[in-house]
Amino acid sequence: MSEPAATPSAPAPAAPADPVTALAARKLRAALGAAVLEVVETGRHPYVRVAPGAIVAAATLVRDDPELAMDCCHLVTGVDWPAKTPADGPGELEVVYHLVSYARRPAAEVLRSKVKSDNFLALKVRVPRDKPEVPSVMGVWVGADWHERETWDLLGVRFTGRPPLRRILLPEDWPGHPLRKDWEYPVEYHGIPIIPPEGR
C-alpha cells in the first residue's frame, strides 16, 4: 500500500476567517462606507478598525443588529504606538473595544471548529497621540464607563461626551499616564524614592 507522496510545495490551508468579524465588516461597510478603515478577519485576534468619529455609530450598529447583537462591552483597552522617528509625526494611540454577545450563543459546530467562537467582536480606533480624543460609547453600553476611565488613567485617551474622566486605579495626584512609552519615572512620590529602571 503506497502512501500518497508528500507535497511540500502544497499551499498552506487558508486560515479560517472569523465569521462574526466578516459579517460585522460587511454590515459596517454598508452603513458607514469609508469610515471602515481596516478589516482583519483571520488570525488570533480579528478586528474591524473604524474612524474615530464613527465609533458611536458603529457601536450602535453592532449592538442593535439582530444577527450580531453585541449586547456587552466586555473590555476597553488601549495601545500606545509612538512614532519610530520624529519625522513620522506624533504617533498614535489605539483603543480596542472587546465586545461579546450573550444573546447569541455560539453554535456547537463553531465551538468544535478552529474558530474560537462566533460571538466575539473587536472594534478598534486610532487617534493621534497629541490629540487623543475618542467619542465615548457610554451611551451605547453604560458599562464602558470604568473601562474608559481606566484607559484614560493609564494611557491618557480623552473620551468625550461622557461624565468627567476621573482616575480609577492610580492616586488622584499621580503624574502623567504611565503606560505611555515616553512616560518618565518620577524621582520620588510622596517622599518615597523611586529607583529609575536603568538603576535597578
Q: What is the DSSP string of 65-94?
A: -TTT---EEEEEEEEEE--SSGGG-S-EEE
User: For another protein, which is the closer residue by CB, 112 or 200?
Assistant: 200
The C-alpha atoms of residue 126 and residue 47 are separated, in whole angstroms, by 13
Question: CB under 8 A: which stretch of 42-50, 72-80, 93-101, 168-176 binds another protein?
Answer: 168-176
Which three cell numbers, joined as nine digits, stand for 36? 471602515
187 binding another protein? (CB under 8 A) = yes
Under the criterion CB under 8 A, does residue 199 sit at the interface with another protein?
Answer: yes
CA distance between the termini of the chain = 65
Residues in the chain: 200
Total binding residues toward another protein, as defined by CB under 8 A? 19
In the complex, minimum distance from the CB of residue 188 to another protein, in angstroms, rounded to a whole number: 7
192 binds another protein (CB under 8 A): yes
Contact segment (CB under 8 A) with another protein among 22-30, 49-57, 65-73, 178-186 equals 178-186
Q: Which of 17, 19, 37, 183 binds another protein (CB under 8 A)?
A: 183
Measured CA to CA, the distance from residue 65 to residue 57 in angstroms comes to: 12
Of residues 34 and 187, the one with the C-beta less far from another protein: 187
In whole angstroms, give the CA distance from residue 23 to residue 121: 10
Give me the residues that bind another protein (CB under 8 A), please: 170-171, 174, 178, 183, 185, 187-197, 199-200
